[in-house]
Amino acid sequence: MESRILISAFEPFDGDSLNPSWEALRSLTPLPNNGEILRLLLPVSFREAPRLLREAVEKHKPQIVLSLGLAGGRSGFSLERIAVNLADARIPDNDGEQPRDLFLYPGEETAYLSTLPLGQLLNELEKESLPASLSNTAGLFVCNAVFYEAARLQARGRIRQAGFIHLPYLPEQAAEKNAPSMSLEDMVRGLNRVVERLLSQELA
Catalytic residue IDs: 80, 143, 166
- Packed helices 184-203 and 118-127: angle between N→C axes, nearest 10 degrees: 130
Beta bridge partners, 163, equal 66
Parallel, antiparallel, or unpaired: how do β-strands 111-113 and 4-10 relate?
unpaired
- Residues near 154 by Cβ (< 8 Å), separated by ≥ 6? 65, 112, 115, 160, 161, 162
Handedness of CA 135, 124, 197, 6 (dihedral sign): positive
In 10 A of CB 104, how many CB atoms? Answer: 19
- Residues near 88 by Cβ (< 8 Å), separated by ≥ 6? 99, 100, 101, 102, 140
